[in-house]
Amino acid sequence: MSLALGVLISGRGSNLMAILDAIDRGSLDATVKLVASNKLNAAGLERAKERGVPTVYLDPKPFTQETNPREAYDRAMGALLQHHGVKYVALAGYMRIVTPTLIRMYPSKIFNIHPSLLPAFPGLDAQRQALEWGAKVSGCTVHLVTEGVDEGPIIVQAAVPILEGDTVESLSARILENEHECYPQALQLMAQQRLHLEGRQVHILS
C-alpha separations of 170 from 43, 160, 165 in Å: 22, 11, 9
Per the CB < 8 A criterion, the answer to whether 9 and 175 are in contact is no
Beta bridge partners of 154: 143
Distance from C-alpha of 197 to C-alpha of 206, rounded to nearest angstrom: 14
Q: Say which of 83, 84, 114, 180 is annotated catalytic.
A: 114
84 counts as catalytic:
no
> Which residues are catalytic, by number?
114
